[in-house]
Amino acid sequence: MIRVNLLPRRREAKREGSKAWVAVLIAAALLEIVGIVVVHAGKKKELDDQLESNRAIEASIADKKAKVANHEAVKKQLAEYQAREDAIAKLQSGRTGPTAMMLELSRMLTPRKLPSIDADALEKLRRENPGAVPSEKWDPHRLWLIEFKEIDRAVTIKGFGKTNDDVAEFLRRVTVSKFFTDVRLVRTEEKMEKDQALGVTYSTTVFELKAKVKY
């Protein structure tokens, strides 16, 4: 009878099995580490991209803030320039306006002359309200001005005409003139006058009107 001892081989098989299992565990650990590294690399790239995007947004915001700040400074400067121009225009208007207004009054009291009014506006007035159109046939010598007063572009004009119609004609002329606005007749009063030289008595219509001047 032959006997074979198998115990050493069993031990070797166990050792080989243990080595294989350790190798599997090591490989699994390595794969896990590689997976972690790959995932970490991907997340780091996402973080870097997000940080880069945030930096770009912050830079854009800072640039826009700088532009807005500069825009406000420019607007303020333009407002200052406009205020200076308005002040200069007001001073210039204060120098030339009264002269132009007095020339307009002279024009109103000149035979066959009409007040300064836009031709289209005059034509529209003729169509819509003919009674408000001044007459070129009116004789300005039928009316006299005895007082003209202006305070802060508010004027008071006093005078008298031979009849109510003469006062009404002058009122129409002031109303349509581009130099006056808010024209209103304050009062009229009929008075009897006597010419001592001729020995005749006649009536006149005293009037007072107020308006605002535009210049």
Give me the residue spans of the domains in the chain. Answer: 11-108, 115-213
- End-to-end Cα distance, the chain: 145
Residue 134 confidence (pLDDT) above 60: yes
d(CA 80, CA 86): 10
Alpha-helical runs (H) found in the chain: 7-108, 119-128, 164-176
Q: Is 209 in contact with 108 (CB distance < 8 Å)?
A: no
Q: Is 107 in contact with 115 (CB distance < 8 Å)?
A: yes
Parallel/antiparallel/unpaired status of strands 200-213 and 154-161: antiparallel
Q: What is the pLDDT of residue 97?
A: 67
Q: Which own/partner contact pairs does 60-64 have at CB distance under 8 Å and 24+ positions apart?
A: none
Residue 201 confidence (pLDDT) above 70: yes
This model's pTM is above 0.75: no
How many CB atoms sit inside 10 A of residue 184's CB?
Answer: 9
Surface-to-core class of residue 114, CB atoms within 10 Å of its CB (0-12 exposed, 13-18 middle, 19+ buried):
middle
pLDDT band at 25 (very low <50, low <70, confident <90, very high): confident
Query: What CATH number belongs to 115-213?
Result: 3.30.1360
Residue 87 confidence (pLDDT) above 80: no
Task: Provide the mean pLDDT of the chain.
Answer: 79
Better-scored residue on pLDDT, 87 or 175: 175
Q: What is the pLDDT of residue 54?
A: 77
pLDDT band at 45 (very low <50, low <70, confident <90, very high): confident
d(CA 199, CA 35): 130
Q: What is the pLDDT of residue 57?
A: 80
